[in-house]
Amino acid sequence: MKRTEVYAHRGFSAMAPENTMAAFQRAVDAGADGVELDVHLTKDNKVVVIHDETVKRTTDGTGKVRELTLEELRRLDAGSWFDPEFKGEKIPTLEEVLQLVAEHGMKINIELKNNRVIYPELEQKVANLLQQYGLVKQAVISSFNHYSLKVMKQVQPEIDTAILYMEGLVDPWVYAKHAGATSLHPYWYTVVEEVVKGCQKENLPVRPFTVNQPKGMRRLLQLGVDAIITDKPDVLREEMEKTAAISPS
pLDDT attached to residue 217: 98
pLDDT attached to residue 2: 78
pLDDT attached to residue 31: 97
pLDDT attached to residue 1: 60
185 in Cβ contact with 164 (< 8 Å): yes
pLDDT attached to residue 244: 83
Domain annotation for the chain: domains and CATH numbers: 5-246 (3.20.20.190)
Does 178 participate in catalysis according to the annotation? no
Q: Is 243 exposed, middle or buried (0-12, 13-18, 19+ CB in 10 A)?
A: middle
101 in Cβ contact with 135 (< 8 Å): yes
pLDDT attached to residue 200: 97
Among left, alpha and beta (phi > 0; psi -120 to 50; other), residue 142 is beta
Give every residue of the chain whose pLDDT is below 50, as ranges. Answer: 249
Nearest CA to 146 among 175, 109, 107?
A: 175
229 in Cβ contact with 10 (< 8 Å): no
Q: Is 63 exposed, middle or buried (0-12, 13-18, 19+ CB in 10 A)?
A: middle
Does 185 participate in catalysis according to the annotation? no
